């Protein structure tokens, strides 16, 4: 559990993330170590958990660094997905809590939906809270939905739902999740360097070993390191940034991992109420991500 104090309905955590927290996330998956008190999952029925952090003012240097690594212009308004950076330590506090029934390592980020109610500016102070309920069935296992809200005072300005899959015995009658239209690749291609995962980790605090080096990724079953799903989401949103209104919803389903280094192709299509977009491996029919931006 991240450092903090139990306040009953909501646990307050420091809001810090990094390599230490990711190391803790890996411990329950390790033989023998995962059985130790304070590390092992409790095994008790899980009814849900809410985590919050002290009010945080958006730091210009951090927002600018995020914008740069994700392809957004640097300006006074923060990029649409940026508040996820403020929520990530809360996600990790939940996933590493002994009460949460699944180990963080091996739990797959399946989908993400973000709603921005208005533009958020550098220097604004936000109150950020994340809540997760009991597991829900999925055809490939069970899913957990981490719902985050960001308030400026009493005003809800941003919210998201991050859906995580724990593979296992599935339920064929359960819904598959987001159904989004695919778009053919356009003329936009991005060459992603081998160190992209490390660069994004330095900004986001997400040092999951699958994103860092070939050796650390192979230890967890990947041929080599893969890009962060939230980076691919952000890079696609950045490509549409100057066409999106202040009040907008973005839904994304992560299909296939993006191995690093690689070249990906971005395609988008205008819809009546927004844009559909897709990220594919250049020159192939491998779809990494499908998404939709909807004007509110």
Categorize the per-residue pLDDT at 189 as very low, low, confident or very high, splitting at 50, 70 and 90.
Answer: very high
- pLDDT at residue 19 greater than cutoff 80: no
Which of 142, 175, 208 delimits the end of a domain?
Answer: 175
Whether 77 contacts 63, CB under 8 Å:
no
Domain with 261, as residue range(s), is 178-296
Whether 120 and 240 share a structural domain:
no
Average pLDDT over residues 96-122: 93
Whether 91 and 52 share a structural domain:
yes
Q: Tell me, what CATH number does 153's domain have? A: 3.10.129.10
Q: Tell me the pTM.
A: 0.89
- pLDDT at residue 8 greater than cutoff 80: no
Whether 207 and 283 share a structural domain:
yes
Which of 154, 175, 196 delimits the end of a domain?
Answer: 175
Least confident of 29-33, 46-50, 98-102, 278-282: 29-33
CA-nearest of 231, 240, 177 to 204 is 231
The string of pLDDT tens digits covering residues 222-276 is: 999 999 999 999 999 999 999 999 999 999 999 999 999 999 999 999 999 999 9
Q: 69-72 long-range contacts, Cβ below 8 Å, gap at least 24?
A: 69/199, 69/200, 69/203, 69/231, 70/200, 70/231, 70/234, 70/235, 70/238, 71/234, 71/235, 71/238, 71/239, 72/234, 72/238, 72/241
Categorize the per-residue pLDDT at 45 as very low, low, confident or very high, splitting at 50, 70 and 90.
Answer: confident
Q: pLDDT at position 17, please?
A: 63
CA distances from 275 to 211, 230, 243, 246, 255 (A): 29, 18, 9, 14, 19
Whether 29 and 40 share a structural domain:
yes
Average pLDDT over residues 183-197: 95
Whether 29 and 150 share a structural domain:
yes
- pLDDT at residue 279 greater than cutoff 70: yes
Whether 143 and 252 share a structural domain:
no
Q: pLDDT at position 39, please?
A: 47
Average pLDDT over residues 77-82: 98
- pLDDT at residue 70 greater than cutoff 90: yes
Whether 121 and 215 share a structural domain:
no
Q: pLDDT at position 28, please?
A: 52
Whether 168 and 182 share a structural domain:
no
- pLDDT at residue 15 greater than cutoff 60: yes
3-class SS letters over the chain: CCCEEECCCCEEECCCCCHHHHHHHHHHHCCCHHHCCCCCCCCCCCCCEEEECCCEECCHHHHHHHHHHHCCCCCCECCCCCHHHHHHHHHHHHHCCCCCCCCCCCCEEEEEEEEECCCCECCCEEEEEEEECCCEEECCEEEEEEEEEEEECCEEEEEEEEEEEEECCCCCCCCCCCCCCCCCCCCEEEEECCCHHHHHHHHHCCCCHHHCCHHHHHCCCCCCCECCHHHHHHHHHHHHHHHCCCCEEEEEEECCCCECCEEEEEEEEEECCEEEEEEEECCCCCEEEEEEEEEC
């Amino acid at each position: 559990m991240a450092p903090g104090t139990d306040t009953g309905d909501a646990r307050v955590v420091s809001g810090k993330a990094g390599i230490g927290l990711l190391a803790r996330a890996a411990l329950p998956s390790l033989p023998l170590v995962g059985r130790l008190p304070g590390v092992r999952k409790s095994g008790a029925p899980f009814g849900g958990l809410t985590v919050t952090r002290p009010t945080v003012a958006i730091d210009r240097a951090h927002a600018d660094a995020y914008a740069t690594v994700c392809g957004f212009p640097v300006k006074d308004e923060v990029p649409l997905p940026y508040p996820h950076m403020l929520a990530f330590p809360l996600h990790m506090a939940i996933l590493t809590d002994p009460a949460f029934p699944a180990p963080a390592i091996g739990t797959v980020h399946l989908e993400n939906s973000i709603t921005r109610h208005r533009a958020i500016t550098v220097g604004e102070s936000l109150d950020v809270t994340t809540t997760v309920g009991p597991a829900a069935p999925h055809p490939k296992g069970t899913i957990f939905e981490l719902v985050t809200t960001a308030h400026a005072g009493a005003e809800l300005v941003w919210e998201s739902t991050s859906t995580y899959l724990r593979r296992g015995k599935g339920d064929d009658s359960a819904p598959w999740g987001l159904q989004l239209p695919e778009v053919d690749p356009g003329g936009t291609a991005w060459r992603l360097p081998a160190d992209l995962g490390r660069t994004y980790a330095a900004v986001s605090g997400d040092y999951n070993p699958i994103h860092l080096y070939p050796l650390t990724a192979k230890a967890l079953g990947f041929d080599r390191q893969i890009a962060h799903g939230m980076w691919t989401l952000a890079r696609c949103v950045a490509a549409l940034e100057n066409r999106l209104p202040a009040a907008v919803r973005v839904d994304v389903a992560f299909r296939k991992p993006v191995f690093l280094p690689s070249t990906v192709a971005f395609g988008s299509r205008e819809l009546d109420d927004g844009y559909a977009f897709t990220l594919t491996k250049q020159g192939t029919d491998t779809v990494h991500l499908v998404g939709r931006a909807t004007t509110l």
